[in-house]
């Protein structure tokens, strides 16, 4: 819950919104914004704050220790599945009817109750498949 709008936070927010739904590492962000005069610790502190506010999602690939951040209003999609493209790194939000159909199918066959908010499906998206 930030109280002041510092120039560092402003720079971070503007950078993030210009790269919505992309996977960015803290290093990547700090490096790009180094010209704006923001330190790596300020980046981390602001990312944590944004995460707590629900404006950002932390993501990581299975089995990897690398963590990325995504500017995505996650309060808006508590009930949808996420698809992550391995080529471009973009996250797609699966609309609820489709998600529910998929989840229901699985519940029926394997008696496994999927947690939609924790699950991410990896693959290749429509756009990247074309190329």
Partner DNA sequence: CTAGTTGCAAAGAGTTTGCATGGCG
Partner DNA sequence: CGCCATGCAAACTCTTTGCAACTAG
Let me know: does 83 contact 94? Beta carbons within 8 Å: yes
Q: Which stretch binds a copy of itself (CB under 8 A): 6-14, 17-25, 42-50, 62-70?
A: 62-70
* Among 16, 24, 46, 91, interactor with DNA by CB under 7 A: 46
Q: Name which position in 20, 67, 76, 96 contacts a copy of itself (CB under 8 A).
A: 67
Question: By C-alpha distance, which of 88, 92, 122, 116 is closest to 103?
Answer: 116
Task: Tell me which of 16, 24, 38, 99 binds DNA, using CB under 7 A.
Answer: 38
Rounded to the nearest 10 degrees, the angle between the axes of helix 40-53 and helix 7-17 is: 60
Q: Which of 83, 88, 84 is nearest to 102 (CA)?
A: 83
Out of 25, 79, 95, 117, the only residue in the binding site for DNA (CB under 7 A) is 25
For DNA, the binding residue among 44, 52, 54, 107 (CB under 7 A) is: 44
Encoded tokens for 10: 């402003």
Within 8 A by CB and 6+ apart from 129, the residues are: none
Residue 54 interface partner, choices DNA, a copy of itself, none, CB cut-off 5-8 Å depending on type: none
Q: Which residue has the tokens 């299975």?
A: 62
Can residue 26 be called a binding residue for a copy of itself (CB under 8 A)?
no
Catalog residues that contact DNA under the rule CB under 7 A.
1-9, 25-27, 37-42, 44-46, 48, 65-67
């Amino acid at each position: 819950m930030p109280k002041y709008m510092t120039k560092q936070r402003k720079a971070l927010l503007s950078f993030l919104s210009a790269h919505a739904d992309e996977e960015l590492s803290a290093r990547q962000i700090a490096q790009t914004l180094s010209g704006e005069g923001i330190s790596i610790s300020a980046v981390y502190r602001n990312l944590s704050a944004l995460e707590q506010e629900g404006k950002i999602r932390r993501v990581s690939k299975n089995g990897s220790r690398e963590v990325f951040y995504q500017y995505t209003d996650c309060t808006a999609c508590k009930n949808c599945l996420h698809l992550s493209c391995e080529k471009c790194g973009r996250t797609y939000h699966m609309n609820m009817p489709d998600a529910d159909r998929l989840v229901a199918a699985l519940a029926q066959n394997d008696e496994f109750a999927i947690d939609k908010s924790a699950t991410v499906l990896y693959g290749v998206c429509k756009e990247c498949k074309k190329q």
